[in-house]
Structure formats: structure tokens, C-alpha cells
Structure 1
Amino acid sequence: MLKEIHDKLIALTEEESQILNGEASVNKSLYTDEWNFVIDSNKLLPAGELIDIRKHTRFVNFPSHKHNYIEFNYVYQGKLIQIIDNKEIILQKGELIFLNQYITHEIKASNEDDIIINFIIRPEFFDYIITLLDNENIISKFLLTTLYTDYEEGEYLYFKVSERENIQDLIEKIIIELYEPSIMSKATIKLLVGLLIVELIKNSQDIEIYSVDNYEKMLIIQSLKYIDEYYDTATLSEIAENLKQPDYKLSKLIKKHTGMTFKELLQERKLSKAVELIKSTNYSIVDLIGIIGYENPTYFYKIFKEKFGMTPREYKLKLCDNIDIQSEN
């Protein structure tokens, strides 16, 4: 990279100077007029422009937010720390991440030596590019679901391409066009971004894919495994702590994906275990109640009868009668 461009990237912006002079938090009015911090492309892009590129503001945490555009973050030097669904993602020099407009993320304060380039791209920019791409590649699917379907889950593509010289060269050319503009720079940048997407497609082996929906399903799978194994002592707070999720959030996700509450799932597992023990052991009903983790026998009898239409003792007797009839036959 040319020294004069490097010096421009390192130089403080007006916003960064204000932060260093005591502005303790992000001035949200620079990014949005909405109360819930959805960054507005109209605040960042000149009227009529589909794409712009800017240096990410250093020295301050960007609290949890969304944006109404597609964003690429590129680490020119240093690192970038993002938090998505309580997952910390640390991008290193030369790495790139695509974020769709439904993702909610937080960005930790960058240091002086952390230079991040933000690509701010209105969805319409991809209308032409998408016609040139194979519908089966990862990036096309990312763009198609974001632009042309009702799918509104947060997604990102994380490109670990720091060793891909052709990709690094393309991004360097984009930055040069940005900081040494010519009469054709806007058109050149658009062409270079298109070429960048093509080169990224060629290196799909370097992509880490994330979807909020997939991540949620992973949390549900882990929750079900936990219930299955620790049914006798399981609590929502314990599994939430293990998965590093707030109780209320995990509770909502379980209901969303299973149609049942955590308590209902746990009860189903306890009852299925009770039936399993009735069938395969000679435990007394009192012992069985303790094994599956209930302290109140009256409550256990109540929910068992609601589920199976008979008491545990009646269930066992019926099971024995069936076994006797089968043995006689």
C-alpha cells in the first residue's frame, strides 16, 4: 500500500478526535434517526449512490445494532472483534466478513493500530451482479435469501482469506481508488467489488457460514441433549449458563423451535424415563419417583395419570397382564 494512503488510513477522523477528547459513546445521530439503533444507509451514502466505503471509527464500542444495508468489514491491519449472538468473532488482518441487513451485532472498540474498512452497500447494488452468478454457490445463496425472499434471519459469511494474494490485491486496488479518486473511481470501485465477489466464490473453502436460524437450532439440540442426560436435576438456568445464553432468551427459543416450554420438555423426558424404569426394573413407585427427580409424589401421580390415563401402579399391572397373555400365547 502506498505510504500516503496508509497515512490517511491511520489519521484521525473528526469523529475519532471527538471520542479521544471525551465523547464516551457513539453519537447515534450520525448513523440513524431511529431509537433502536438501526444504522441507516441514507446517513452514510450520498443520495443516489449504491455503494460507499469508509474507515470504521476506532476507540469506541459500537453497541448492539442492525443496519438497513449489506455490510462488508475488511481488516486492513490489526484485528476486529464482533459479538454476534453472544459469540465473539475475532477477524485478523486480511480477513473479511459479509453481514446481511438482518444481523444484530456489536463491535468492540478498535485500537489506534486497528484499521477496518467498511463497505456499505445498498441491496440494489447486487441486482445485476446476482444475474452473473451461479445460483448454487454460497455467496449467491446468501444474496438471494437476503434480497429476494421473505427469509429475515441474520446471516454472515466470514472469509478467512488473508493468504489469498489475488483477493488482497483487489481490496488494495479498491482502497487506492477510494483515497486517490479519479473521474472513473466510482465505476472502477463497483467493477472491483464485482471481481472481489467472483474471487471469493472461487475460494469458498475459506468461508465460515453462520445463520441465526442454524445457530438457534444448535442451541436447541444442545438443550435437548442436556434434558435427555440430566433430566433428574435439569434446570433452565443451568443449561442457559452452560450455553452462555440469558434464561429468557433460551426459553423463547425452545418454545419457538419445539412448541413446548422447557418445563414441558423436561416433564416429557421424566415421564418417558419413568415408563422405561417401570418396564425394565423392579423399583417401587416411590423409588422411581426419586430417581427421575420428583420430590412430590402427589404431583407425579397427577401428571402421570394426565399423560397415560392411569396411575403408575395401574400401568405396571397392565404391563404385567400383557406380558402374561403374551407368554400364554
Structure 2
Amino acid sequence: MREDIYQRLIALTEEEEKILNGEENVNKSLYTDNGEFIVDSRKLLQTGELIDIRRHTRFVHFPKHKHNYIEFNYVYKGQLTQNIDDRKITLKQGEFIFLNQYITHEIEASEEEDIIINFIIKPEFFDYIITLLEDESLISKFLLTTLYKDYSEGEYLYFKVADKNYIQELAEKIITELYEPSIMSKATIKLLVGLLLVELVKRSKDIETYSANNYDKLLIIQSFKYIDKYYRNANLFELAKKLNQPHYKISKLIKKHTKMTFKELLQEKKLSKAIELLKLTEYSIVEIIDLVGYENPTYFYKIFKGKYGVTPKEYRGKKLHED
């Protein structure tokens, strides 16, 4: 790591100075506006950004909390001890842990020499990257569930890769790019994170996994993959047949883990695909309606405006104006 960036990492923040001067507890208002301690990405990310990093605040215990984003903890120097769903884990220098947005964890106070980098990442960041990974890899399965915002099981992946030099080099490149952004930084960061995940996939023997319900998760992941691939003509009965399960069982599992019906989940996927086509292509709105699998334009307009508050045409015009 370059010395100037290291000095920025080791320097005391305003929050840390207050803690050292007697402020005993975490100032939750820096992280959330809610009564419940759910760290809000809007407090940590600039508007429109999908990824950023911040050095973890030292000298103070972080009580039990969740996030509304994906968090990667990377131990650049020292160590990090946390309790995740009441499982105590101490990460050593050079190790990573990926936490989804439903995991509950608390973090023990770090010492001055403990430099922990927190990657704050919105799930949408992985829409492209997930296509680079093997379908059956642990990371691919982890990321797939994070892309469905209403999947509600806490999960983590713990990577014991302290001795893997290439992974450490990639982590440093990402940190440097985020601390010194350039005109190509967004594209560079996406590529570097993609490379990091590909390298971590190769180290499956070095991964410790945790999921609240692995059996249910397998069926849910297969359901998500089916919807991702066949969303245009997907239906519950065909999915149940592919999974060799009764349709009512799949329906109940989806409702249990996502708080949505199969129909609502499928609609979310179709609408997100429509948004992608509106932003990234020049297809007409009529063509987009057909591409995402709706036969009734009136119904599509109704549900689109109900979710986004604007018509597809207005949305496209707004995005063009912002860009």
C-alpha cells in the first residue's frame, strides 16, 4: 500500500477523536435515522453510487445491527472480532468476510493498529458481476440471494485467504482506486471486484459458510435462477416440475423467505429488466413490454407507474436528463 494512502487509513477520524475523548457509545445517528439499528447505505454512500469503502471506526463496541446493503469486511492490518448470529469469529490480517443484508452482527472494539476496510455495496452492483461467476459456486449462490431484496435469511462467507498474495494485491488496488478516483474508476472498480470474486471462487476450500436455513436456501436459489433465466414465460407449475416439488410447497417457501408470492417475485424481475432496457437500450417501450413478457401494455403501464411513480417514457427521459 502506498504510504500516503496508509497514512490516511491510520489517521484518527472525527468520530474516533470523540470516542477517545470520552464518548463511550456509537453515535447511531451517523449510521441510521431509524430507531432500530439498521445501518443505512444512504448515510454512507453518495447519491447514485453503488459501492464505496470506509475504514471501520476503532475504539468502540458496535452493538447488534444489520445493514440494508451488502458488506465486505477486509482486515488490512491487525484483526477484527465480531459475533454473527451469536457465532464468535476473529478475522486475521488479510482475511475477508461477506455479510448479506439480513445478518445480525456486533463488533468488538478495535485497537489503534487494527485497520479494517468496510466495503459498502448495494446489491445492484452485482447484476453484471454475477454473470462472470460459475453458477454453482458458493459466491454465486450468495450473491444471487442478495439480488432479491426480500430474501430474508442471514448469511455470511468467511474467506481465510491471508496467504494468497494475488488476492491481497487486488484488495489494495480496489482500495487505492476508491481513495483516488479517476475518470475510469467506476469501470475499473467493477472489473477489479469481479476479478477478486473470481479469485475467491477458486479458493472454495478456504471458505467458511453460514446460512440460517441451507435446505430451504437451495430450493430458493434454484427458484431465483429459474426466474432469472425464464422470466419472460416463467410460471410456478413449470418451476415446481423442474424442482420435482409440489407447487404449493415452492409457493410457501418463496412466500416464507421473500415475503412475496411467486407472481410478485416474477413481476419484480420483469420490472427490473424493463428498467435495465430503458436505461441501456434504444428499444421502443412497446418492444420492451414484449421482451419482458407482458402481453397487455395497459397492465404493464399500470404496474410500472405504481412501482416507480412515473410512466416508462417519463423514466427514460428522466434518466437521459440525469446522465
TM-score range, shorter chain: 0.5 to 0.7
More displaced stretch, 140-149 vs 188-197? 140-149
Could you list the per-position Cα deviations for residues 250-281 of structure 1 after superposition, in whole angstroms to 9, with x for gaps in the alignment?
A: xxxxxxxxxxxxxxxxxxxxxxxxxxxxxxxx
Task: Work out whether 1:143 is the aligned partner of 2:143.
Answer: yes
**CA-to-aligned-CA distance 1:3-31 (integer Å, 9 cap, x gap):** 22211111011111111111111111111
In 2: Cα distance, 1:47 partner to 1:209 partner: 32
Asked if residue 101 in structure 1 is aligned to residue 86 in structure 2, the reply is no
Match of 1:115 in 2: 115
The answer for the alignment partner of 1:41 in structure 2 is: 41
- Spell out structure 1 runs of 4+ moving beyond 4 A: none
Q: Is this contact kept in 2: 1:146–1:152, CA < 8 A? A: no
State the aligned residue count.
Answer: 215
Report the equivalent of 1:11: 11
Residue 68 (structure 2) aligns with:
68
Q: What is the CA distance between 1:213 and its match in structure 2?
A: 2.8
Task: Check 1:214–1:67 CA distance in 2 against 1; reply closer, same or farther (3 A cut).
Answer: same
Measure, in 2, the Cα distance between the counterparts of 1:89 and 1:128: 31
* Structure 1 unmatched runs, 5+: 216-329
Cα distance, 1:199 vs structure 2? 0.8
Percent identity between the aligned chains? 73
- Deviation at 1:151? 3.6
Letter in 2 for 1:205: K
* 5+ long unaligned stretches in structure 2: 216-323
The equivalent residue for 2:56 is 56
- The answer (yes or no) to whether the contact 2:132–2:194 under 8 Å persists in 1 is no
Task: Give me the TM-score of the superposition, normalised by structure 1.
Answer: 0.63
Q: Deviations over 1:58-95 (max 9, x none)?
A: 11111000000000000000000010122210000000
CA deviation after TM superposition for structure 1 residue 166, in Å: 0.9
Aligned-pair CA distance for 1:214: 5.3
Distance across 1 between alignment mates of 2:149 and 2:51? 22
More displaced 10-residue stretch of structure 1: 12-21 or 171-180: 171-180
Other-structure match for 1:177? 177
CA shift digits 1:135-187 (9 cap, x unpaired): 11110111112223854110000000001111001001112222333332233
TM-score normalised according to structure 2 size:
0.64
CA distance in 1, matches of 2:146, 2:176: 29
Counterpart in 1 of 2:163? Answer: 163
Q: C-alpha deviations, 1:217-256, integer Å up to 9, x for none? A: xxxxxxxxxxxxxxxxxxxxxxxxxxxxxxxxxxxxxxxx
- After TM superposition, list the pairs within 5 Å mapping 1:70-85 onto structure 2: 70-85=70-85
Q: Residues 76 and 149 of structure 1: is their aligned pair in 2 closer, same or farther, counting only changes over 3 Å?
A: closer
